[in-house]
């Protein structure tokens, strides 16, 4: 028997080696990357492309996309902004749908405008997004009809065009401000000599106001053609049915007799080193950046090119980690640093780097440090330890994606196929891609990685920029250019040295606690353990994901118990401890120690609760619990890192009040809470960080997380009880605990009573903002909360219908409501309407009319039904997600909620009536406590 086992083992080993040799032989660098067999890509006789994939996550839903391989880059000089406006016009009337009928129909089947139904326009593409619930007959057919109408049946009525101009101008207005003004000065030089320099998708306001409607019709006719289009269909649909619908709706599309050439535009390399310094009085921070010359690039098509992309990603990951390490110094050279490869331009790539700095005087040092790190990488490469860590992280990410391959949401596939159509990004499928990573990653050597770093010298010319607030002593652009060049010419640069890092998170294994009691909840399908240290653990095994475990914990507590003297030490306690690290690990050291682990844990302190949140893969469950134990028991004192934290945060907010919206919000909060010192921090000030006491902040952290008594933990996901139980006993049952009872406190903070009107004049741009907050007390009930939410959602429909489409006074805006039981039962109803100065009074009157109407007449049945259906569709998806169950179980454990409202939510949603919503509206708006604040530009 013993010899037979030995022979069997030898044969198994031989078979294993042969299998691996065969696998290795199959992955050749010259091989083309194949297409995922689970997606069907076809092309109709008119050139129209389609992608079809059946995917049942989520069930009874199909993701539709219409993708146009054309964007703003194809506009003529007098059409700037019309590619974007053409996208808008698709929602403003087609052959089969009158103006707003598309939005209204989709809302009626549960598709929300903006969050579900949407579209975007970029330089080289336009993409329309349409998720369709398929549980009702006819929905999918109508969805395809909408896609077809967008493709060739938009009506472009002159009246509709003229009305939509104002909506586009309001969207443009939203982006105006210091960042936009500085960007518009830099951008033309960043892409000098290229058409990209003059074709921003938002367009030119003066053209939008005055263009001849014939120009947008011409753009639509020229570029909206089947040879440049694709339909993407992914979801719970029979592929044959989907293909028949594609043929039916797109087979009849016709290309123009003499189609215009779809041109791709060049980006020239920089002919010399150059730079710009651009300031704005409303800028809030200093940022220095260096962009190296762009170079032609294409998506990987062979295994060898895929490997080259892996090498490039490894390079960026290690270099960015080195820059993060530098921020951990006592006097960091910058607030943050970064590098990345990327370009706005199709078929081009570009290496970019930069840093955020505290003052204009530090810009030169920040730039020099970033360039020096790039030079170190070029000259000396990286260390084996750095390479190994990134490999572990990349492989872990790929393993998790592979493990979840049968539970991947349709939206993930859709986005992948959009990129495949537009840029020919390969789509081999997760199984093939994981095979490549498993095969190629071990073969990537330091020599290969360092050779890539040296190749960056081929893009030698660069463009340096500095942006920020106006200052008395700004470095000249040429000085920054010269500083970068001087670093590149230095001969005294030395290679980085690798610091040894502990491999074990915990110095010693905790002494386990015991499970004293076990309970079942048959309704929720949960099991609860009461542990000897006063904690409880509730868990629910699900099959929503195959490799996901979510953790949460909650109990009463919070920061309301601290006086004004402790305000900032308490408010920033989590940030302070996070900046110093845990156990023997600084923040960046802990990140390195966790390389290859899919596990994380974070803490939270609210007004009345303390909480923890975590997630992990199945294999890294113990690591997640070790991180939990480390964070709970070993906050680290590091005075140098604390000083760095204070210094960085003071610098990051030093100019924050230069921003008009920030001043506005700051003034609103002061008015709302009447300068109460216990009010929450809405806008941080530099002096707040000087008031943090390091030791007190750590003590406050320990008060909330160093004693586990009463903490209620919840686990949801791919759980094996036999594995979870001993880990819970060790890492949660082993947490230190006393008999202290944790409670919340009502600190007496209340919003101002009565009606308050506030106007702030701030800002150079011609833009305004209306914020309104209605507040009041209530007798809490779940039905009232649901009806209040319905008030908000119905009003949001009316905001789109009336304030956007009829008045054309806004691009985006709306209302929201929050209801809290603690520390006292109260609600806040928030309205936000960004607009132009001339439309403020009109919008105020229109919004008041909508509020008055819902108070007196209630919502229309049609609009309330739209809200109900959208919630029902959202709940269908949410009920198949671990995060939904985790949050509900956490809250019901703490607040003793009725599980029927969660398990049978449709019953309560369908019980809503116009009368019940009207009553909730009357409750909201009858309190008489309303703060209305208006931001207007500075008076000239």
Select from 910, 882, 934 the least CA-distant residue to 404: 882
- Element (DSSP H or E) covering residue 629: helix 621-633
Phi/psi at 752 (nearest 5 deg)? -60, 145
Please tell me whether the peptide bond between 58 and the residue prior to it is cis, using omega within 30 degrees of 0: yes
Select from 624, 605, 606 the least CA-distant residue to 614: 624
Residue 458 is predicted with a pLDDT of 66
Residue 940 is predicted with a pLDDT of 62
- Element (DSSP H or E) covering residue 719: none
Task: Check: CB of residue 538 under 8 Å from CB of residue 714.
Answer: yes
Residue 99 is predicted with a pLDDT of 87
Please state, rounded to an integer, the average pLDDT across all residues of the chain: 94
Please tell me whether the peptide bond between 823 and the residue prior to it is cis, using omega within 30 degrees of 0: yes
Phi/psi at 24 (nearest 5 deg)? -60, -40
Task: Give residue 330's pLDDT band: very low, low, confident or very high (50, 70, 90).
Answer: confident
Phi/psi at 611 (nearest 5 deg)? -155, 160
Residue 837 is predicted with a pLDDT of 96
Task: Check: CB of residue 643 under 8 Å from CB of residue 635.
Answer: no
Residue 459 is predicted with a pLDDT of 62
Select from 278, 317, 465 the least CA-distant residue to 395: 317
DSSP state of 359: S
814's CB contacts (< 8 A; 6+ apart) are 792, 795, 796, 799, 831, 832
Query: Which residues are paired to 833 by β-bridges?
Result: 770
Only one residue has tokens 């062979």, namely 302
Q: Give the integer Cα–Cα distance in Å for 774 and 61.
A: 37
Task: Taking residues 876-890, report their average pLDDT.
Answer: 96
Task: Check: CB of residue 829 under 8 Å from CB of residue 817.
Answer: yes
Task: Check: CB of residue 644 under 8 Å from CB of residue 576.
Answer: no
Residue 9 is predicted with a pLDDT of 39
Query: Which residues are paired to 235 by β-bridges?
Result: 54, 62
Angle among Cα 331, 282, 474 to the nearest 5 degrees reads 50
Instruction: Specify the 3-state DSSP secondary structure of 531.
Output: strand
Tens-digit pLDDT profile for residues 912-936: 999 999 999 999 999 999 999 999 9
Only one residue has tokens 């699900």, namely 542
| Neighbouring C-beta atoms of residue 738, cutoff 10 Å | 11
Task: Give residue 27's pLDDT band: very low, low, confident or very high (50, 70, 90).
Answer: confident
Q: Give the integer Cα–Cα distance in Å for 603 and 182.
A: 37
Task: Check: CB of residue 505 under 8 Å from CB of residue 626.
Answer: yes
- 456-477 CB burial, b ≥16 within 10 A, e <16: eeebeebbbbbbbbeeeebbeb
| Neighbouring C-beta atoms of residue 534, cutoff 10 Å | 22
Task: Taking residues 379-391, report their average pLDDT.
Answer: 95
Q: Give the integer Cα–Cα distance in Å for 489 and 907.
A: 72
Task: Check: CB of residue 486 under 8 Å from CB of residue 369.
Answer: no
Select from 805, 765, 788, 681 the least CA-distant residue to 940: 765
392's CB contacts (< 8 A; 6+ apart) are 595, 596
Instruction: Give the range among 169-178, 493-502, 606-615, 823-832 with minimum mean pLDDT.
Output: 493-502
Task: Check: CB of residue 720 under 8 Å from CB of residue 523.
Answer: no
Q: Give the integer Cα–Cα distance in Å for 522 and 527.
A: 9
Tens-digit pLDDT profile for residues 286-324: 999 999 999 999 999 999 999 999 999 999 999 999 999
Instruction: Specify the 3-state DSSP secondary structure of 423.
Output: helix
Q: Which two tokens stand for residue 234?
A: 């992914």
Has residue 180 got a pLDDT over 70?
Answer: yes
Q: Which two tokens stand for residue 4?
A: 């037979």
DSSP state of 800: I
Instruction: Give the range among 68-82, 654-668, 888-902 with minimum mean pLDDT.
Output: 888-902
Has residue 114 got a pLDDT over 80?
Answer: no
Long-range contacts of 90-95 (CB under 8 A, 24+ apart): 90/119, 90/128, 90/149, 90/150, 90/154, 91/119, 92/154, 92/160, 92/163, 92/164, 93/154, 93/155, 93/157, 93/160, 94/146, 94/149, 94/150, 94/153, 94/154, 94/155, 95/149, 95/153, 95/155
How long is the chain? 940
Residue 455 is predicted with a pLDDT of 86
Task: Taking residues 425-436, report their average pLDDT.
Answer: 96
Task: Taking residues 445-472, report their average pLDDT.
Answer: 89
Q: Give the integer Cα–Cα distance in Å for 60 and 873.
A: 10
Task: Check: CB of residue 320 under 8 Å from CB of residue 339.
Answer: yes
Indicate the burial class of 521 (C-beta count within 10 angstroms; 0-12, 13-18, 19 or more).
middle
Q: Give the integer Cα–Cα distance in Å for 483 and 477.
A: 10
Task: Check: CB of residue 651 under 8 Å from CB of residue 334.
Answer: no
DSSP state of 113: B
Instruction: Specify the 3-state DSSP secondary structure of 512.
Output: coil
Has residue 16 got a pLDDT over 70?
Answer: no
pTM: 0.93
Which residues of 402-509 form beta strands (DSSP E)? Answer: 462-468
Has residue 22 got a pLDDT over 70?
Answer: no
Has residue 6 got a pLDDT over 50?
Answer: no
Task: Taking residues 790-803, report their average pLDDT.
Answer: 96
Indicate the burial class of 678 (C-beta count within 10 angstroms; 0-12, 13-18, 19 or more).
middle
Bridge pairing between strands 351-357 and 336-341: antiparallel
Bridge pairing between strands 526-531 and 515-521: antiparallel
Looking from the CA of 103 toward its CB, the CA atoms found within 13 Å total 20
Q: Give the integer Cα–Cα distance in Å for 422 and 414.
A: 12
Only one residue has tokens 């806008």, namely 683
Residue 460 is predicted with a pLDDT of 78
Phi/psi at 795 (nearest 5 deg)? -65, -35
Q: Which two tokens stand for residue 160?
A: 């509709």
Has residue 15 got a pLDDT over 80?
Answer: no
């Amino acid at each position: 028997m013993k010899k037979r086992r030995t022979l069997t083992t030898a044969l198994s080993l031989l078979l294993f080696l042969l299998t691996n040799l065969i696998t290795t032989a199959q992955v050749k660098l010259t091989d083309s990357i194949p297409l995922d067999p689970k997606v069907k890509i076809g092309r109709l006789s008119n050139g129209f492309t389609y992608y079809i994939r059946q995917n049942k996550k989520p069930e009874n839903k199909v993701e539709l996309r219409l993708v146009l391989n054309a964007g703003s880059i194809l506009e003529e000089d007098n059409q700037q902004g019309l590619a974007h406006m053409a996208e808008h016009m698709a929602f403003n009337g087609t052959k089969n749908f009158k103006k707003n009928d598309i939005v209204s129909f989709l809302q009626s089947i549960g598709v929300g405008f903006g969050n579900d139904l949407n579209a975007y326009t970029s330089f080289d593409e336009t993409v329309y997004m349409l998720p369709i619930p398929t549980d009702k007959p006819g929905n999918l057919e109508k969805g395809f009809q909408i896609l077809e109408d967008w493709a060739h049946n938009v009506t472009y009525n002159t009246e509709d065009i003229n009305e939509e101009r104002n909506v586009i101008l309001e969207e443009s207005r939203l982006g105006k401000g210091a960042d936009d003004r500085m960007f518009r000065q830099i951008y033309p030089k960043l892409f000098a000599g290229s058409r990209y320099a003059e074709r921003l998708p938002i367009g030119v306001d003066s053209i939008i106001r005055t263009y001849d409607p014939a120009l947008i019709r011409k753009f639509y006719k020229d570029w909206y053609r089947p040879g440049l289009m694709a339909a993407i269909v992914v979801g719970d649909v029979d592929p044959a049915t989907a293909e028949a619908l594609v043929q039916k709706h797109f087979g009849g599309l016709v290309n123009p007799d003499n189609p215009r050439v779809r041109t791709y535009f060049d980006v020239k390399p920089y002919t010399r080193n150059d730079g710009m310094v651009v300031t704005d009085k409303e800028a809030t921070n200093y940022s220095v950046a260096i962009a190296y010359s762009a170079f032609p690039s294409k998506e990987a098509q062979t295994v060898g090119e895929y490997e080259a992309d892996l090498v490039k990603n490894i390079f960026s990951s290690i270099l960015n980690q080195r820059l993060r390490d530098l921020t951990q110094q006592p006097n960091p050279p910058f607030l943050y640093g970064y590098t990345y490869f990327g370009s706005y331009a199709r078929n081009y790539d570009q290496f970019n780097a930069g840093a955020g700095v505290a003052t204009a005087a530090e810009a030169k040092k920040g730039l020099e440090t970033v360039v020096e790190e790039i030079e170190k990488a070029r000259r000396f490469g990286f260390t084996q330890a750095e390479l190994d860590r990134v490999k572990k992280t990349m492989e872990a990410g790929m393993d998790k994606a592979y493990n979840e391959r049968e539970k991947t949401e349709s939206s993930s596939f859709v986005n992948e196929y959009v990129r495949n159509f537009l840029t020919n990004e390969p789509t081999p499928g997760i199984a093939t891609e994981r095979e490549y990573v498993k095969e190629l990653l071990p073969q990537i050597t330091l020599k290969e990685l360092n050779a890539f770093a040296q190749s960056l010298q081929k893009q030698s010319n660069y463009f340096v920029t500095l942006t920020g607030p106006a200052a008395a002593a700004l470095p000249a652009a040429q000085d920054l250019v010269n500083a970068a060049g001087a670093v590149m010419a230095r001969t005294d640069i030395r290679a980085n040295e690798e610091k040894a890092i502990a491999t074990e998170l915990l110095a010693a294994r905790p002494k386990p606690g015991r499970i004293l009691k076990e309970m079942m909840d048959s309704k929720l399908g949960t099991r609860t353990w009461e542990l000897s240290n006063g904690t409880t653990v509730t868990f629910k095994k699900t099959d929503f994901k195959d490799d996901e475990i979510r953790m949460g914990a909650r109990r009463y507590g919070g920061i309301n118990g601290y006086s004004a003297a402790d305000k900032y030490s308490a408010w920033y306690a989590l940030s302070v401890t996070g900046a110093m690290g845990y156990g023997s690990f600084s923040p960046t050291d802990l990140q390195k120690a966790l390389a290859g682990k899919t596990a994380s844990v974070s803490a939270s302190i609210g007004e009345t609760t303390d909480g923890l949140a975590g997630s992990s893969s199945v294999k890294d469950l113990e690591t997640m619990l070790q991180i939990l134990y480390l964070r709970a028991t070993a906050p680290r004192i590091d005075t140098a890192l604390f000083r760095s934290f204070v210094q960085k945060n003071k610098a990051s907010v030093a100019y924050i009040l230069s921003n008009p919206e920030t001043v506005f919000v700051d003034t609103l909060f002061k008015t709302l809470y009447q300068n109460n010192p216990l009010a929450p921090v809405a806008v941080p000030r530099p002096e707040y960080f000087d008031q943090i006491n390091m030791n007190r902040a750590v003590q406050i952290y320990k008060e909330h997380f160093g004693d586990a008594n009463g903490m209620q933990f919840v686990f949801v996901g791919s759980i094996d009880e036999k594995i979870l139980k001993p880990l819970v006993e060790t890492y949660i049952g082993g947490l230190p605990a006393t008999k202290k009872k944790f409670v919340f406190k009502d600190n007496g903070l209340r919003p101002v009573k009565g009606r308050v009107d506030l106007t702030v004049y701030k800002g150079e741009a011609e833009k305004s903002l209306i914020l309104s907050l209605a507040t009041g007390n209530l007798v809490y009930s779940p039905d009232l909360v649901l009806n209040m939410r319905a008030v908000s959602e119905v009003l949001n429909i009316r905001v789109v219908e009336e304030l956007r489409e009829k008045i054309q006074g806004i691009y985006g805006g709306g209302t929201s409501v929050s209801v809290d039981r603690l520390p006292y039962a109260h609600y806040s109803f928030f309205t936000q309407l960004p607009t132009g100065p001339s439309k403020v009074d009109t919008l105020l009157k229109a919004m008041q009319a909508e509020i008055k109407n819902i108070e007196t007449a209630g919502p229309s049945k049609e609009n309330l039904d739209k809200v109900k259906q959208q919630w029902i569709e959202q709940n269908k998806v949410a009920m198949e997600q671990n995060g939904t169950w985790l949050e509900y179980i956490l809250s019901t454990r703490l607040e003793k909620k009725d599980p029927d409202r969660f398990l049978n939510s449709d019953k309560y949603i369908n019980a809503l009536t116009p009368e019940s919503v009207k009553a909730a509206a009357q409750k909201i708006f009858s309190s008489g406590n309303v703060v209305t604040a208006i931001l207007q530009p500075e008076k000239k």
